[in-house]
Amino acid sequence: MPSGTVIETEARDAAAADAVRPRHVAIIMDGNGRWATSHGLPRFEGHRRGAEAVRRTVTAARELGIEALTIYSFSSENWSRPEEEIGQLMGLLKRFIRSDLKELHANNVRLRIIGEGHPTDPEVQGLLDEAETLTRANTGVTLTVAFNYGSRNEIARAAQSFARQVAAGTLRPEDITPERFDEALDTAGLPPLDLVIRTSGEQRLSNFLLWQAAYAELVFLPVFWPDFDRAWLERALAEYGRRERRFGGVDANGR
Can you give the pLDDT of all 255 residues of the chain as single tens digits?
Answer: 455 665 555 555 555 545 589 999 999 999 999 999 999 999 999 999 999 999 999 999 999 999 999 999 888 777 778 888 888 888 888 888 888 999 999 999 999 999 986 656 788 888 889 999 999 999 999 999 998 899 999 999 999 999 999 999 999 999 999 999 999 999 999 999 999 999 999 999 999 999 999 999 999 999 999 999 999 999 999 999 999 877 666 565 565
Amino acid at 172: R
What are the distances in angstroms from CA 169 to CA 34, 174, 175, 244, 246?
52, 13, 12, 43, 38
- At a CB cut-off of 8 Å and minimum separation 6, what does 191 contact? 23, 24, 67, 68
Q: What is the pLDDT of residue 245?
A: 79
Contact present, 94 and 51 (Cβ < 8 Å): no
The fourth-level CATH superfamily of domain 20-220 is Decaprenyl diphosphate synthase-like (3.40.1180.10)
Contact present, 209 and 196 (Cβ < 8 Å): yes
Q: 164 among the known binding-site residues?
A: no
Q: What is the pLDDT of residue 190?
A: 97
Q: 80 among the known binding-site residues?
A: no
Give the number of other CB atoms < 10 A from CB of residue 108: 13
Give the number of other CB atoms < 10 A from CB of residue 175: 11
What letter does residue 109 receive in the DSSP assignment?
P
Q: 217 among the known binding-site residues?
A: yes
Q: 130 among the known binding-site residues?
A: no
What are the distances in angstroms from CA 135 to CA 56, 84, 101?
19, 31, 9
Q: 150 among the known binding-site residues?
A: no
What are the distances in angstroms from CA 159 to CA 117, 129, 164, 181?
19, 25, 9, 8
Q: 33 among the known binding-site residues?
A: yes
Give the number of other CB atoms < 10 A from CB of residue 166: 14
Q: 40 among the known binding-site residues?
A: no
Give the number of other CB atoms < 10 A from CB of residue 33: 20
Give the number of other CB atoms < 10 A from CB of residue 47: 22
Q: 108 among the known binding-site residues?
A: no
Q: 76 among the known binding-site residues?
A: yes
Q: Which of 18, 78, 138, 229 is catalytic?
A: 78
Nearest to 17 by CA among 251, 233, 200: 233
What is the full DSSP assignment across 130-195? HHHHHHTT--S-EEEEEEEE-HHHHHHHHHHHHHHHHHTTSS-GGG--HHHHHHHSTTTTSPPP-E
Query: Is 121 among the residues known to form the active site?
Result: no
Give the number of other CB atoms < 10 A from CB of residue 232: 21
Name the pTM for this structure: 0.86
Query: Is 30 among the residues known to form the active site?
Result: yes
Q: What is the pLDDT of residue 19?
A: 55
Angle at 109 (CA atoms; ends 103, 110), nearest 5 degrees: 125
Q: How many residues does the chain have?
A: 255
